[in-house]
Amino acid sequence: MSPSRTSAGNSASPTVSVVNTLGRAETRAPATDTLLFSQRRERRVLRRRVSPFNIMLGLLVFAVAIVLYIGNIIAVEQLMRDIGQLEARHRRILADQEILRAQVNRMSSLDRIQKMAEDQLQLKLPTVAPQWITVDSNRIEEVEQAAIDNRHRF
């Protein structure tokens, strides 16, 4: 079928010459579905082909995106490895800190300090209870004055 439009004088409706399946030419008013089909075919013909440059550009953008994605995955894995190492180091530091606290508690025990004071410094615990000493405030002033006078002499 090969439709062709003809206009007959002043008629308002266009006619289409069509060759039917028997090979005879007929003239009839075009059907709306035939017009739609021909418009669709014209649209398909107007469709642009994709240029090789656009294909290469698209592939390049795709490749760059993949490279960035893989780089991101590698960076995240490296960060996770670093985090694991830092967490292990943190656990070791906490264990060392606990050991040091235990050493401080052991070394600051009263029994240990008393023994060192007796052995190394020859200090002994008092056998007599301490007594209160009362000091006269006038006597304090006299001693302070004497100390000031002694300083000025030398």
* Domain layout of the chain by residue ranges: 4-46, 55-124
DSSP codes, 62-83: HHHHHHHHHHHHHHHHHHHHHH
Whole-prediction pTM: 0.42
Give the C-alpha separation, 154 to 150, whole Å. 7
**Phi, psi for residue 5 in degrees, rounded to 5:** -85, 140
Residue 6 has a pLDDT of 47
pLDDT tens digits, 62-95: 999 999 999 999 999 999 999 999 999 999 999 9
Look up residue 108 and give its DSSP letter: T
Rounded to the nearest 10°, the torsion over CA 140, 143, 149, 153 is -150
Band the pLDDT of 28: cuts 50, 70, 90. Answer: low
Count CB-CB contacts under 10 A for residue 16. Answer: 19
